[in-house]
């Protein structure tokens, strides 16, 4: 059979030669079609964060819960290269996935919490568990604490006594940056490097903010905390820029916490304000404090987003500009901090009645895309937010002011755009529709849910 095949091949080649033809292979011409846009629905779960690194895309989906249930209830999801199917990784029973980071290798680190404890896990790009280690900081109970007016703290816990969602991570190459608010209410940053056994070993520890008086905030009526406002004054935010500088941001709201006063007492910085945001820069290689910047809003403030930019760091959230009887007093804000710590800009942004910005991304021309929710009303003497909001997608100028509001189709009830990242040279947005308002589940708890999505809308600036 082998000889016959060779003979036939030789005969075929001779026939081609006799006809004046050539026996040659033809090169493949043209370019492969671009990947189809991502359009993923996540029924009954909100998408709260999405990040990409190379070909790996990971996101958090969250089952919304009432204020009477323990949260957050999040699942880490990994999007396949086809942009349509996902792999889920759930925390062990009793633990919550609160944040994740995608490393250049495609490996994923996630931080998990209980009411008191913290652990770090590592996964491969398919969601397979590679390492799992608990973390206890023996120095945390001895961090400085300033008691201005009582409040609640638990020196033996690695999370604040008032919440379990005060841990955030960022990739430092294949190392990991971790920021916690501990049970002493102090904010502490750490760097972990890979160790030979596949886990992490701590490289440095830096006190970002000392412990201080913290008070609880709660709904007097209602069953769902729409924007996490009960806990916003306890949260921590972190990102890292291309130079390896980490930025850690926290909210200061006199009457709820004493962040500005405690910072002054500990570090002696001449920062002005009692309400607003404090951003502290750290050297990623050794944890040195590089300086702190105050965004003095002078009014009740919620921070919802912190992102590194080529020039420094951008912050977003909302502020109570005015107590209006129609409930329209909340506005979004943007703030820009230069790499040297200079506050370059702070702007209040009014789009439509109530506004909030959850995330922001820099464009190559120095402008920004920002996203959140708009068109809601809030009880001027309380915390109740209406069931109806519209998605907010905004194109901002280089100074953080409004350029234009971009179209994005909404759906039923609450609409929120929560997170933005870059995938295949296009913007990928994560968010939710059909979410609840403050009172949606007062009599029917099954109305506390939302439908999430990942979407690449066409024609956005920078695509």
Contact criterion met (CB below 8 Å) for 66 and 432? no
The pLDDT of residue 157 = 97
* Residue 88 CA: distances (Å) to CA of 57, 151, 445, 452: 12, 39, 26, 15
**pLDDT per position as a tens digit, 335-367:** 999 999 999 999 999 999 999 999 999 999 999
Whether the pTM exceeds 0.85: the reply is yes
The pLDDT of residue 30 = 64
Q: Are strands 86-89 and 354-362 parallel, antiparallel or unpaired?
A: unpaired
pLDDT exceeds 90 at position 270: no
Q: What is the mean pLDDT of residues 232-240?
A: 98
Q: Could you tell me the two tokens for 136?
A: 């206890």
- If phi > 0 it is left, if psi is from -120 to 50 it is alpha, else beta; for residue 16 that is alpha
The pLDDT of residue 463 = 87
pLDDT exceeds 80 at position 18: no
Helix (H/G/I), strand (E/B), else coil: 212: strand
pLDDT exceeds 60 at position 401: yes
pLDDT exceeds 70 at position 7: no
CATH label, 133-455, candidates 3.30.450, 1.10.10, 2.120.10, 1.10.490? 2.120.10
Position 28 confidence tier, pLDDT thresholds 50, 70, 90: low
**Omega before 94 cis (within 30°)?**
no
Contact criterion met (CB below 8 Å) for 307 and 242? no
Position 29 confidence tier, pLDDT thresholds 50, 70, 90: low
Q: What is the mean pLDDT of residues 378-406?
A: 96
Q: What is the mean pLDDT of residues 281-310?
A: 97
Q: How far apart are CA 297 and CA 292, in angstroms?
A: 16
The pLDDT of residue 5 = 36
The pLDDT of residue 80 = 84
Q: Which residues contact 53 (CB under 8 A, 6 or more apart)?
A: 102, 103, 104, 106, 171
More confident residue, 367 or 21: 367
Q: Are strands 426-435 and 129-135 parallel, antiparallel or unpaired?
A: unpaired
Q: Please, what is the average pLDDT of the chain?
A: 92
Q: How far is CA 87 from the centre of its chain?
A: 20
**pLDDT per position as a tens digit, 40-52:** 999 999 999 999 9
pLDDT exceeds 50 at position 22: no
């Amino acid at each position: 059979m082998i000889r016959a095949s060779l003979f036939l091949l030789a005969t075929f080649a001779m026939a081609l030669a006799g006809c004046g033809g050539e026996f040659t292979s033809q090169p493949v011409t043209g370019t492969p079609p671009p990947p189809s846009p991502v359009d993923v629905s996540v029924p009954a779960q909100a998408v709260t964060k999405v990040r990409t690194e190379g070909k790996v895309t990971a996101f958090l989906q969250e089952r919304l819960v009432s204020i009477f249930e323990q949260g957050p209830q999040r699942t880490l999801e990994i999007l396949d290269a086809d942009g349509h199917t996902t792999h889920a990784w759930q925390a062990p029973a009793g633990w919550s996935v609160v944040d994740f980071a995608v490393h250049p290798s495609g490996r994923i680190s996630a931080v998990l919490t209980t009411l008191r404890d913290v652990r770090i896990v590592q996964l491969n790009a398919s969601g397979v568990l590679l390492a799992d280690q608990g973390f206890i900081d023996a120095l945390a109970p001895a961090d400085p604490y300033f008691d201005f007016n009582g409040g609640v703290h638990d020196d033996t816990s690695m999370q604040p006594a008032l919440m379990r969602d005060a841990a955030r991570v960022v990739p430092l190459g294949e190392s990991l940056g971790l920021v916690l608010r501990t049970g002493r209410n102090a904010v502490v940053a750490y760097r972990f490097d890979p160790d030979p056994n596949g886990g992490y070993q701590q490289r440095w520890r830096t006190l970002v903010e000392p412990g201080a008086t913290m008070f609880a905030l709660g709904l007097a009526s209602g069953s769902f905390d729409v924007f996490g406002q009960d806990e916003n004054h306890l949260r921590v935010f972190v990102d890292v820029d291309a130079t390896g500088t980490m930025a850690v941001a926290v909210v200061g709201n006199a009457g709820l916490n004493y962040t500005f006063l405690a910072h002054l007492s500990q570090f002696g910085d001449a920062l002005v304000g009692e309400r607003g945001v404090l951003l502290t820069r750290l050297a990623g290689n050794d944890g040195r404090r590089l300086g702190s910047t105050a965004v003095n809003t002078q009014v009740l403030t919620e921070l919802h987003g912190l992102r590194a930019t080529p020039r420094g760091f951008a912050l977003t959230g909302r502020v109570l500009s005015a107590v209006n009887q129609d409930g329209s007093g909340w506005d979004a804000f943007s703030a820009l901090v230069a790499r040297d710590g200079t506050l370059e800009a702070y702007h209040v942004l009014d789009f439509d009645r109530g506004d909030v910005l959850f995330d922001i991304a820099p464009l190559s021309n120095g402008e920004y895309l920002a996203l959140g929710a708009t068109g809601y009303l809030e009880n001027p003497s309380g915390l109740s937010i209406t069931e109806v909001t519209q998605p907010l997608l905004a194109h901002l100028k280089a100074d953080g002011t409004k350029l234009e509001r971009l179209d994005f189709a909404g759906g039923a009830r609450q609409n929120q755009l929560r997170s933005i990242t870059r995938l295949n040279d296009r913007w990928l947005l994560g968010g939710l529709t059909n979410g609840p308002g403050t009172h949606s589940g007062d009599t029917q708890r099954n109305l506390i849910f939302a439908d999430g999505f990942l979407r690449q809308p066409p024609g956005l600036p920078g695509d």
